[in-house]
Structure 1
Amino acid sequence: MQIKFKVAKYEDSETIGSLVVDLTNEICELTKAQHFDINLNSTIERCRELISDGHYAAIIGEYQNKPVAVVTFTETYALYAGGKIGVIQEFYVSPELRASGVGSTLIEQVKKYGKQHDWSCIELCTPPLPEFERTLNFYQKNGLIPVGGRKMRQALA
């Protein structure tokens, strides 16, 4: 199976938005909770803004010219991690291609991008467990290790 990966551009915002909405819908369905207030149009518009402002990047995987995977990330800084790091915000592979190696190759694409941008590491938060135990195992198999804690949030708007 030949998956073509590319660093996304502004013009790819609709593709990114669509895949991210698929991801968030899947998380909500599996956990039977509405973790996100998200819709396609506002997600696409937000993606356009973040990419054009240089605050957000993505890599898209395509199979037979159809988008099947996406990883979004941002660059930030952390003293505990030695400086510049990459934080994966969203990571999604179409269900029919899971366990085919697409996700592992997508992680490798992020690592390559990070090395080119002098990141000291990459970090991410997993979706809620136990529903996503398989996701946690996938990340560990691909070299990411748990460092403790849980993602926490408080809306400011």
Structure 2
Amino acid sequence: MLRIEEATISDFPIITELFEHLIKEICLRTNSSPNLFIVSGTMDKCKHYLESGIYKVFKAIDENNEQTIGFLSLCESYSLYANGNFGIIQEFYVHPEYRSKGVGSKLLFSAKEYGGGKYWKRLEVATPPLPEFDSTVSFYENNGFEITGGRKMKLTIE
């Protein structure tokens, strides 16, 4: 059995651990340097984001062993192109042995329900447009997401 819950402040260590698994997997699949992502101080940041309420996290729990096996994090944004407020999926990870078993879809369902309660117009997510992530793109499409084009880019401000 599977249970989806909203993460609490006390969940910051396991959410941080799962986030680090996510980063390692992305780096392995893309042959990228771990320096692609800033992970120093992640545990403190995760705790702060959960405490402040700017970061909403849903966690998936395997009820057979009470282990947290995945998570999805969201934040709210606003734009004219989205016609108001909307949600951005910031991080999303499910342990590999639990993939293709409905865990990710249930996490997305919780995110959609939460967004509906906040009157969000949409959910957005960025995925690398690389062949290594074709299954990820298919997963999102199978859950109602549409490709809107473009690439995610960043500019570091120091």
Q: TM-score, normalised by structure 2?
A: 0.93
**2:125 corresponds to:** 124
Give, in angstroms, the shift of residue 37 of structure 1: 3.0
**2:17 corresponds to:** 18
Moved over 6 A (4+): none
User: Are residues 1:30 and 2:39 paired?
Assistant: no
**Distance in 2 separating the partners of 1:67 and 1:127:** 25
**Distance in 2 separating the partners of 1:146 and 1:9:** 32
What secondary structure sits across from 2:54 in the alignment? coil
Give, in angstroms, the shift of residue 26 of structure 1: 0.2
Give, in angstroms, the shift of residue 128 of structure 1: 4.7
Asked if 2 retains the 8 angstrom alpha-carbon contact of 1:23 and 1:92, the reply is: yes
Asked if 2 retains the 8 angstrom alpha-carbon contact of 1:27 and 1:127, the reply is: no
Structure 1 unaligned residues grouped into runs of 5+ = none
Asked if 2 retains the 8 angstrom alpha-carbon contact of 1:31 and 1:128, the reply is: no
**Distance in 2 separating the partners of 1:89 and 1:129:** 18
Change (3 A) 1:24 1:140: same
Asked if 1 retains the 8 angstrom alpha-carbon contact of 2:127 and 2:137, the reply is: yes
User: Are residues 1:147 and 2:153 paired?
Assistant: no
What secondary structure sits across from 1:81 in the alignment? coil
Asked if 1 retains the 8 angstrom alpha-carbon contact of 2:4 and 2:106, the reply is: no
Structure 2 unaligned residues grouped into runs of 5+ = none
Give, in angstroms, the shift of residue 144 of structure 1: 0.5
What secondary structure sits across from 1:104 in the alignment? helix
